[in-house]
Structure 1
Amino acid sequence: MSDSEDEGTPQLSSHALAALQEFYAEQRQRADSGAHDKYDLGVIEENWQLSQFWYNQETALRLAEEAVAAAGDGGRIACVSAPSVYRTLRRLHRARCSACLFEHDRRFAGLGEEFVFYDYRRPLDFPPGVEAHSFDLVIADPPYLSQECLRKTAQTIQYLTRGKILLCTGAVMEEEAAKLLGVKMCKFIPEHTRTLGNEFRCYVNYASGLDREL
């Protein structure tokens, strides 16, 4: 393996590996029993017609851990168009943080108050109760690789966040992301459950563990 390939391989801590193994074990147990609850989003599959491309378990775990570390214990995290990260947060980190899913797919409406219907084309159209600058961290994955989508999603991010931003989008959006949100590309490379044609990267505007993936 070359150095460049090695840099792109997610390196999980021993704690993260243990959490991931526990997550897999719980999934197998629940699949065997046929049980699920409103926080078990594993019963909902990604919908390509809605431009949903979900992270694999390792990436979802790594991003969830980063979100909790950045928001701090007791922090609030907004997941904008990132249901696979939200799922991992609720399954593994409910005691450490609160999370809210901003998502266009109404299949998640069963989450109750933790679901906010979101259409990036109306970036500031929120129901009462969604206050400005009320989240310690916003993690966002704009559904389309276009300047228009990123620009409008950026308005949402800036409205919701108290300062910290974790953006996941294509490598081709690096310059635009920096201009709109002041974020820089991290070394960590997110991976999806399915192979995508575009290279995806993570961007942050704070000192992040995602930039120490070697």
Structure 2
Amino acid sequence: MAIQKGDFIKLSFTGKLENGTVFDTTDANVAKEFGLYNDQATYGPETIIVGKGYVVAGLDEDLVGKDVGYKGSVTVPPEKGFGMKRIDQYETVPVKKFKEPVRPGMRITANGRQGVVESIAGGRAKINFNAPFAGETLVYEYTIESLIEGKAEKVSSVVKMFAGKELDQKLEDNKVIIDVPMEYAFNQRWTMAKSMIASQMFELDIAEVVFQETYKKPAPAAAAEEKKE
């Protein structure tokens, strides 16, 4: 079955620059090989919704029409990757404004934005505030691992995509009840994630989304000690 926009799929990929430098991957071994490995990250195929911007436009478009199991690559021009470099995203800042010495290639924060020091001359630093890899042609090697078709599986995938991990949930007709961990209660990211989850659920014809928080009284210390014994 050919992949269409709106399909939920599991996708493995490795993104490279034209010179072969790997900047993103779902493969832990590749991440280790190129010094990108993060022990806090989860590796393996990613669930995405085709045509929804979960990956760069050039890769997103290339997925349409391919079959499950397809393995190939696509070259993505800057305008369908991370965009073109813009002249108005460069600024010259006096080096004395920085609290520590700066050098070319250093990543800094200036005027509330993150950028990279491109050069220093005459006591002034030229800062590039363009997005990383803006202006770069990208090469993605990818495999369409599987197609997610069931409603319950799609619901579970949406929660994991935005929550960052699997959460307990229950699907009742057109209503989804999601158990929210206590540690998420004061997480600002979670506030935004809830909105995104609900929005995507509505596109799955879910009429109601309930985020359920449960607080349990801790066991008395003495009782806990007795249990240990």
The two structures have a TM-score, normalised by structure 2, of: 0.25
Larger radius of gyration: 2
More helix by share: 1
